[in-house]
Every structure is written in structure tokens, then in C-alpha cells.
Structure 1
């Protein structure tokens, strides 16, 4: 860490913006100089941090870095303004509503030569980071299947997009990330029961280029909150609880009797290991990584291009649900967004 301090701003003080404000207010190497939200509550800003009415007012404070946590339909306009101003920017997921909007953001920041990232915070969950490391070390051997479950009640501040773009974005991205393989096909069914014109739940299946089968269950219609990732392989199962950042290995047991050895095929219960992990808040880790990237230090951030790829995948899910077809993802142009 250098002695240099980055002048940082925050655009948006909604549910996610308030969390960013809390972390930015105590992050080493960051001088949190202002937050902008015309409808924001000054009490949501750390002591001494002013609440401003607009992005223009925030830019007048000569910020070097900005977190964008406003409604998704406003991301493109704000991001283009920040790129033009030369401000390093982290844009919350989803990167944009449409592929074209996301591509405009990618091109603008690349042309400006400015550091930018997408807020795919699950990549910084300690359980997932450790799971990815163990898969890379071959702990499960060949990987067969990945299943994710991201369920809970409808949020108080309902996003302007459906559950696919708001929540399934995480699972689509993290699945590719942990095994370092892209989707080959995707198929999905969606539905709406909340009275909104966007989907409330989705059930999806797919195949990665490496041959792994995946399935995702995502909704806003479940009383209890659940965030789980289960990876099944030839040596057992790694199960991550993303709410508690816990990781466990359920190893395969082995037949020991002669008659069992002659007839048994498949899996049986074996040893269970629960790993003791060092647990830092994922959002804190994400903002630390982005700060380091802005300073030019080694850092692993989710690029805008990766955020754009997530839009492609969510559009493929929505297109599949609308047309009741399986969508070929690899090497294809993005499917147009469809509503269910």
C-alpha cells in the first residue's frame, strides 16, 4: 500500500449505495469526499461526508474514483460521463439493462484509458474464493455438476430489472469464474407472481464448454433467504453457503466388504470436512481490490467486459424462456432481451 490517498465519490444512496458508503468511509487509502443522490438521506453518509444533488456536483470535488450504485437504467449515462471525466469507476451489477448500453460503457472506458470494473461482489466471498482455489488444485478431481440456489423475499426497494438480471447475474458469473469455463448452452423457464411486468423467478439449466452440467434456481418469492453453491465431482461435493461464508467437503465413501465391492456403483456417504476460513466482508474486499487497481497495484477485479458477458448470459436466459428453446451461447451474438 502506498501513502497516496484516492479522492472517492459515490453515486446513489439506495440499499446497495448505503453499504458502499459505510465501507468507503473506513477504507484505508480512500478519502471519501462526497455522495450524490437527490433523494438521499444525509444520515446515510459517514460523518463529514456531504450529500450532493447530482453527479456534476460530485465531479466538482475532483474525485479520482467513483462507485455507481444507482438504478440500472441510469448506468450508461452516468458511466459515460465518468469515463469522459477520466474517473476510475466501479459500476454495480448489472452493468446495464441492454447489451448495447453495456458495450457503450466498455468502449468508452477503454477509449479513455480509465480503470473500470463491474460490481460482481460474490467473487470476493471467502467461501467461493476458497472453493475456486480447491477446484484449481484438483481436490474434487473431475467436476461433474454445479448447482446454485439464490432465493429470498421480494426486496423492499424493487429493482428496475427482473430477478434474472438482478440476481441470476451473480450465479451465471460465479459459475464460469470458479471453473474457468464459459457457457455453451442455456435453457430457462421464468414466471411472475408479484404483479410486476418482470420475472420473479427462474429455473435454468446449462452446459459449460468443459462439459460440466449446471443448474440455477433463483427467485424473489421465498420467505427464507438462501445463497448456496454446490459443486459435485468424482471425489465428492464442495458446498458453499454464501450467507455465512462457510465451505464444507462431503467426500465419497468407499465400499469395504467383498460383496459390496462386486456390486456397488455410484456414491456413498463418507468423511465431512468443514473448513475454517478467514472471513472478510466481500464488499470490503471488492473495494480494496478496486482501490488497488486504481493505484496500479496487482489486483483482480471484475472487468466491464466480464459485466458485459453477464448481460449476454442473462439475455440468453430470457430469450430461452420467451421462445421455449435452448440457446447456444458459445460464439453467438447476444440474444435480444425478452420479457416473460
Structure 2
């Protein structure tokens, strides 16, 4: 197969990076970008030496596009994806796959009918630290997973349209938890609030029962520092993962006393562990995601993240949001 002709629909916060990475990739040709904001479309197209459009149907009619990234607001995913499928375009949709289960299933079914690649952009799955953590856990280095705790916080994003913090941030963790544990939740509990915007939940605490593992997620748009961390407690050790810096630290228990006689013994208990920093080669997760998408098209193979996996994460997000609504 020759170079893949690609386009990006929506070049806002994340879409502009799709355009950048396609432009840098020698396996494809970035033919066009499309954005309803004409000034933004012109600016991005000029930067990457491609055509610009404000109407994606016009773009599909004028350009021979093989694949497209969709990075528009979530409530528009269905109509844009279905139009891409009409023009036989393989599609990478930014997370979440859709705004409703019905829409997600329609997208998945249409892609299958057309025999087209459908990939969902859960970008943390391509984070080298996550991939390494998965391997460490599969080798049994920290034993059986007892609990998982994630913190994903930071200031309110400049462009959020209709999505709450659960759909924007927590959905990353839903996908990672499903991936690491290789199972789906049995029960979900959640609480949230809206101190910044009465119409949108901007912080949430989510508790998920995975059977043998309990998982907790803390997300908000309030904390004045960006934090992306995952802590995993196992029967043989403890793993800390920093998504941003792509770092992993493992602590293993080496207890030689089971009770303490005085305060000195008590302090010893807190020191009876070994610490190991895991070496990880830094990579840009989105660049790895797009490489996988293009390789899936070229080799006619399933992408790393399927529509069904995107649907699973969406189902948790919807259930968590319902729990919050019922609680309030």
C-alpha cells in the first residue's frame, strides 16, 4: 500500500497534535484539516502545508482521503464518524467513543459493515509506563492486585463542550483499569460536585469494584497543579506510576518483625521495604497511538484499542455519572 492519505476533523486542543504528528509521519500524507473555526483551520493548514475546510462533507468530496482522525466534541462523534464511513475512511475517534451507548454501538456496527478500521483514542494505553506496569503485573512481581488508586487533576480546560470531568478525565482511568486487570467492573459508586459550573460536574470521587480488586479514582478541574498518577497495591509489593514523567517506582515488603515492642520497632516497620526505580524509554503516547492506527490500516489488522473497548469505558463513565446524579 502507498502512503495513506489522512485528514483531521477538529484541530482544537488535541486535534492540532493529530495534525502535527501526521505531518511528521513518513507513512502518510496529511491532505487536509477541517474545523468549523475558519481562522483556526487556515492557521493549522498553513502550518502543515495542507488544504483546509470548514465543512467535512465538502472535504470528503474534494479529497481522496483514506483515513481520518475525529477530534470534535463528543456529542458530534456519531454523525461525523458515520459520514467518514460513507466515504470508506478508516477512523480514529478521540475518547470517549460517543456520548451514549446507542451512538457508540451504531458507530461500531457501521464500521464492521463497511469492513473499516475503527480505533478509539485512549492515549494512555500507549504510555510506555502503562505498558511496562502491565508487564510487571503479569509477571507477578507485586503479587495479586488488591487495590488501585488514581489521581488525575488540574485546572479547568479552555474548551469543554457539554462533557463533565468524568467523561473528560476519569474515562482514561476506566480504560487503564480494564486493560491492567483484564476484566470489567462489578459495581460502581461515585460522588461529584460543581463548584465551578452549576451545569457540569467538575470534580468526582469514583469507587469501582472489580471483584478481587477495589479501584478508586479522584478527578477534578480544580487543583492548581497538573497531576496524573496511578498507585497499585499488590500482595507482594506496591507500584507507583507517573503518567506525565513516565516513571515507575516499585516497593517490595521485606518484613523481619511482625510486632513492635517500642517506638523504635514501630519506625523499623515503615522502613522494611526495598525501593526500585524502573527504567523507561520516554515516548510520546499520541505519536505511538497514531503509528498503531496507520499500521492497522496498512497491515489490515485490528488496532490496539477497538470500538468495543471504547464502549466498555463509556459504559463505566455513564454509570458513574448516573451514580453522582442519584447521590445529589
* Length-normalised TM-score, structure 2: 0.92
- Does residue 287 (structure 1) correspond to residue 290 (structure 2)? The answer is yes
Corresponding residue for residue 110 of structure 1: 112
- Does residue 34 (structure 1) correspond to residue 28 (structure 2)? The answer is no
CA distance in 2, matches of 1:251, 1:268: 11
- Does residue 21 (structure 1) correspond to residue 19 (structure 2)? The answer is yes
CA distance in 1, matches of 2:258, 2:234: 24
For the 8 Å contact 2:34–2:41, the answer to whether it is kept is no
Corresponding residue for residue 334 of structure 1: none
CA distance in 1, matches of 2:105, 2:200: 23
Corresponding residue for residue 329 of structure 1: none
The structure-2 alpha-carbon separation of the partners of 1:258 and 1:89, relative to structure 1 and needing over 3 Å to count, comes to closer
CA distance in 2, matches of 1:134, 1:58: 45
For the 8 Å contact 1:150–1:167, the answer to whether it is kept is yes
- Higher helix proportion (structure 1 or 2): 2
Give aligned pairs, total: 319
Equivalent positions of 1:213-228 (< 5 A) are: 213-228=214-229
Corresponding residue for residue 236 of structure 1: 237
Q: C-alpha displacement at 1:315, in angstroms?
A: 1.0
Q: C-alpha displacement at 1:158, in angstroms?
A: 2.1
For the 8 Å contact 1:292–1:299, the answer to whether it is kept is no
For the 8 Å contact 1:252–1:267, the answer to whether it is kept is no
Corresponding residue for residue 3 of structure 2: 5
Corresponding residue for residue 296 of structure 1: 299
- Does residue 53 (structure 1) correspond to residue 54 (structure 2)? The answer is yes
In structure 2, runs of 5+ residues without a counterpart are none
Which residue, 316, 320, 324 being the options, matches 1:321?
324
Q: CA RMSD in A?
A: 2.0
CA distance in 2, matches of 1:233, 1:202: 25
Q: C-alpha displacement at 1:259, in angstroms?
A: 7.2
**1:114-143 deviation digits (Å, cap 9, x = unpaired):** 111111000001111100011111111111
Corresponding residue for residue 305 of structure 1: 308
CA distance in 1, matches of 2:238, 2:220: 24
Q: C-alpha displacement at 1:44, in angstroms?
A: 2.5
Corresponding residue for residue 279 of structure 2: 276
* Length-normalised TM-score, structure 1: 0.89
For the 8 Å contact 1:189–1:204, the answer to whether it is kept is yes
State the SS of the aligned residue for 2:197: coil
The structure-2 alpha-carbon separation of the partners of 1:48 and 1:258, relative to structure 1 and needing over 3 Å to count, comes to closer
**1:209-228 deviation digits (Å, cap 9, x = unpaired):** 4x111100011111001000
Q: C-alpha displacement at 1:319, in angstroms?
A: 1.4
In structure 1, runs of 5+ residues without a counterpart are 325-339
CA distance in 1, matches of 2:48, 2:284: 22
CA distance in 1, matches of 2:176, 2:253: 25
Corresponding residue for residue 192 of structure 1: 194
